[in-house]
Amino acid sequence: MRIYCIECNSSVGIMDKVYTCPKCGGLLDVEYDYDVLAETVPKSWFSRPLGVWRYGELLPILNRTLRVSIGEGGTRLVHCRRLGEKLKLKNLYVKDEGSNPTGSFKDRGMTVGVTKALEFNVKNLICASTGNTSSSLAAYAAKAGLNCIVLIPSGKIALGKLAQAVIYGAKVLAVKGNFDDALRLVVELSSRPEFYLLNSLNPYRLEGQKTAAFEIYEQLGNRAPDWLIIPVGNAGNISAYWKGFEELSLLGLSNLKPKMIGVQSKGANPLVRAFKENRDPTPLTEVETIATAIRIGNPVNWRKAMKAVRKSNGLFEDVNDEDIVKAQRTLAKTEGIFTEPAGAAPIAYLIRHRDDDLIDRDEVVVCVATGNGLKDPDTAIRFSEKPVEVEADSRSILNYLRGLS
Ligand code: F0G
């Protein structure tokens, strides 16, 4: 196993507590001896339950006895026949990441990142968050008996996520600024020895997140999808999925790699702009979207994400808030999957681009529903029909129902 800089390729020691390259500031990544691993996997996986730790050989943990786990991964891959019919797609699937222990994909990364914190013997875990990272980190810190400090953009995180962070015992600081300000602050603080940073700048977290790609491969009967559509904020998750699919190919398990479609919100779309204008992204200081999870103007993992999208022959695209709200409801009403607004962005993309000829009706398409809808009850209620008050007798209920038809 080697930790290296994606810019200058210099190596970093496996026990060096750094988040970016000490030489050039580039993002770090982890590589394994794929030729050796190809001898043992996937046979070694079969005896283990579906989930992050099934893929232990491809995780950067030296001491597995320290593992901090609350049952992450192993989420459903739902064949969406009813929604697929509407969208003229025979093989539409949703990876339901909202069914992770704290209700989002972040748990995949935190089980690895917090285990790493125990290896490093640090006591104070810190992150900036639009909500889900903080919920997840707070839970894993609680399980590990470590302190957790989270910085959130004041007034801009969904209620359920705040409730989770506080109930799991995190110290929650509401920063008068946006997510990008909060991230800048935690990066500054984490240069101090007493803190350990668990944002997606942390390469170990993304190692956990890539396991969703392995699961999809197995759940599809040992094949990668033709398309993977995923919401993008700080751009860590799309990078992690791509890495997972690349590793399957390096291990000789899959020749096919999906084309990646990264979906941002129109009000927070730095990568879409950069992609369309074929340039590096410029940070956006004013960002706004109903999908608060992806309300991010300066994605730290943009280099990895841009590479993933380009290498895969995919694209970045944006959707507006109205599309997101509509997609959220459509997914819930056709498939019984309630995802938060950000998690509905891939479906919003498909609805909006239904008549493009980009995706063939027989191709296998996987949308990642990244977070559980219960995290943001306010938005769901705001855009839904209000409950109707009736008298407590069946006649008035029947009268009301007759009036509807
Ligand atoms: N979907 C949800 C539900 C999220 O919470 C996030 C990110 C994303 C998508 C985007 O993932 O950042 O890896 O591109 N939430 C982070 C947080 C930023 O703080 O919870 P990304």
297 in ligand 1 pocket by Cβ < 6 Å? no
Tell me, yes or no, whether 144 lies in a domain.
no
Q: Counting atoms of ligand 1 from 1, which one is nearest the CA of 131? A: 20
* Ligand 1 and 294: CB distance under 6 A: yes
Task: Let me know: does 226 contact 217? Beta carbons within 8 Å.
Answer: no
Residue 87 lies in a domain: yes
Could you read off the pLDDT tens digit of each residue along the chain, which spans 405 residues? 999 999 999 999 999 999 999 999 999 999 999 999 999 999 999 999 999 999 999 999 999 899 999 999 999 999 999 999 999 999 999 999 999 999 999 999 999 999 999 999 999 999 999 999 999 999 999 999 999 999 999 999 999 999 999 999 999 999 999 999 999 999 999 999 999 999 999 999 999 999 999 999 999 999 999 999 999 999 999 999 999 999 999 999 999 999 999 999 999 999 999 999 999 999 999 999 999 999 999 999 999 999 999 999 999 999 999 999 999 999 999 999 999 999 999 999 999 999 999 999 999 999 999 999 999 999 999 999 999 999 999 999 999 999 987
Residue 267 resides in a domain: yes
Q: Using the structure block, give the residue that is written with the tokens 């209920």.
A: 397
224 within ligand 1 shell (Cβ under 6 A)? no
Residue that has been written with the tokens 């790493």 in this structure: 116
State in Å: Cα 32 to ligand 1 middle. 26
pLDDT at 64: 86
304: domain CATH number is 3.40.50.1100
Provide the domain count of the chain: 2
Q: Do 313 and 371 lie in a common domain? A: yes
Residues 289, 234 share a domain: yes
Q: How many other β-carbons are positioned within 10 Å of the β-carbon of residue 27? A: 21
Looking at the domain assignment, is residue 71 inside a domain?
Answer: no
Query: 232 C-alpha vs ligand 1 centroid, how far in Å?
Result: 7
For residue 1, the enclosing domain spans 1-31
Give the ligand 1 atom nearest the CA of 136. Answer: 20
Q: Same structural domain for residues 81 and 19?
A: no
Q: Is 340 in the pocket of ligand 1 (CB under 6 A)?
A: yes
The two structure tokens encoding residue 370: 């990244």
Question: Is the residue at 345 inside a domain?
Answer: yes
Residues 248 and 343 in one domain: yes
> Which pLDDT score is estimated for 209?
98
222, 363 Cβ separation under 8 angstroms: no
Q: What are phi and psi of 194, to 5 degrees?
A: -80, -10
Q: How high is the pLDDT of residue 132?
A: 98
Are both 350 and 253 inside the same structural domain? yes
- For a mutational test of ligand 1's pocket, the pick from 132, 202, 375, i.e. the residue with the most ligand atoms closer than 8 A to its C-beta, is 132
The set of residues, in sequence order, having a beta carbon less than 8 Å from that of 154 and lying 6+ positions away, is: 174, 175, 176, 177
Burial zone of 286 (CB within 10 Å; 0-12 exposed, 13-18 middle, 19+ buried): exposed
Q: Model confidence over 62-121: pLDDT tens digits?
A: 998 999 999 999 999 999 999 999 999 999 999 999 999 999 999 999 999 999 999 999
Does ligand 1 come within 6 angstroms of the Cβ of 341? no
* Ligand 1 contacts CB of residue 234 (under 6 A): yes
DSSP secondary structure string, 162-219?
HHHHHHTT-EEEEESS-HHHHHHHHHHHTTSTTEEE-STTSHHHHHHHTHHHHHHHHH
Residue 269 lies in a domain: yes
Q: Is any atom of ligand 1 closer than 6 Å to the C-beta of 133?
A: yes
Answer yes or no: is 58 within a domain: no
Dist. CA 233 → ligand 1 center (Å) = 5
Ligand 1 in contact with 162 (CB < 6 A)? no
Residue 27, Ramachandran bin (φ over 0: left; ψ between -120 and 50: alpha; else beta): beta
Q: How far is CA 269 from the centre of its chain?
A: 17
Residue 177 lies in a domain: no
Measured from the Cα of 339, ligand 1's closest atom is 3
**CB-ligand 1 contact for 101 (6 Å cutoff):** no
Residue (of 163, 109, 99) closest to 131 by Cα position: 163
CB of 370 closer than 6 A to ligand 1?
A: yes
